[in-house]
Amino acid sequence: MAMLIATVAALGGVGGVVFGSAATLPVSPRNASAFRTCVLTGYPTTTTVMFDTWADENSKTSNKAGGVTVQVQSNTGRNNRPFLGFDLTKCVPTIAGAATVKQATLRLTLAGAPSASRTYNVNRVTGPCPEAATTCWTENGLTWNNQPTVAASATSTLALTSSSATNQYYAFDVTADVVAMVAGTASNYGWRIADSAEGNATSIIATFKSKDATSNAAGAPQLVIAYSP
């Protein structure tokens, strides 16, 4: 129990973050001092630590990078899907391949709540890379038409409603993905967020703050990793 409390504290506590759900999160007791925390933050806007954009089904060849939000929408022929990635090599000290990742959390600030109850999926991007990009997708090159493929099953989910509070962090548990990325059994191509039931008859949109919100120091996208060397 002491270990669980220490891990939660390292991730910023639970008071200001709403957590989504994942299948399992194994936490084994160990000396709390063995844990380190890496926080990768999409701030300032020029950072190379992370990258984000979104794909727009209604404008299939348009790139949406540079806006102050990323948008997820369910609507027939007008679905929108955010893509986000973080450079794990920017952690200091570097997370070794043999490290034990205890928890990894993708944190996004809700800018606009959906007009109805929705469940959002986060899926690990698997490739293949579109248009022979040097990374599996590029912030300034991704469109609906060239978006990469993702894992068949969602890594975790997040439920939001019209009353979900804005301007606070909401969290996806991406521990399983980061474990695989650190171990080298999965490539780090980032994640896609999508409505779990796309193609709704009427438009339902949620927006999250992007790294390009210039005054976003307190609400920038984050990947928070608790690990032991």
Q: Which residues pair with 21 in a beta bridge?
A: 157
Residue 33 neighbours by CB under 8 Å, 6+ apart:
none
Q: Which helix (H) or strand (E) segment is 30 a member of?
A: none
Look at residue 3 and tell me whether its pLDDT is greater than 80.
Answer: no
**Cβ atoms 161, 202 nearer than 8 A:** no
pLDDT top residue among 83 and 20: 83
Using the predicted structure, report yes or no on whether residue 131 has a pLDDT greater than 50.
yes
Each residue of 143-201: pLDDT tens digit?
A: 999 999 999 999 999 999 999 999 999 999 999 999 999 999 999 999 999 999 999 99
pLDDT score at 123? 98
Check residue 217 and give its pLDDT.
79
Note the pLDDT of residue 129.
84
Strand partners, 159: 119
SS3 165: coil
Domain containing 23 equals: 2-228
Residue 73 burial (C-beta neighbours within 10 Å; 0-12, 13-18, 19+) = buried
Based on the structure, what is the number of domains in the chain? 1
- Mean pLDDT, residues 100-108: 97
HSE, side-chain direction, 13 A CA sphere, residue 104: 24
The whole-model pTM stands at 0.86
Query: Which is more confidently placed, 8 or 70?
Result: 70
- How far is the C-alpha of 149 from the C-alpha of 210, rounded, in Å? 22
Report, as an integer, the average pLDDT of 87-105.
Answer: 95
If we measure between CA atoms, which residue out of 18, 19, 42, 27 comes closest to residue 216? 42
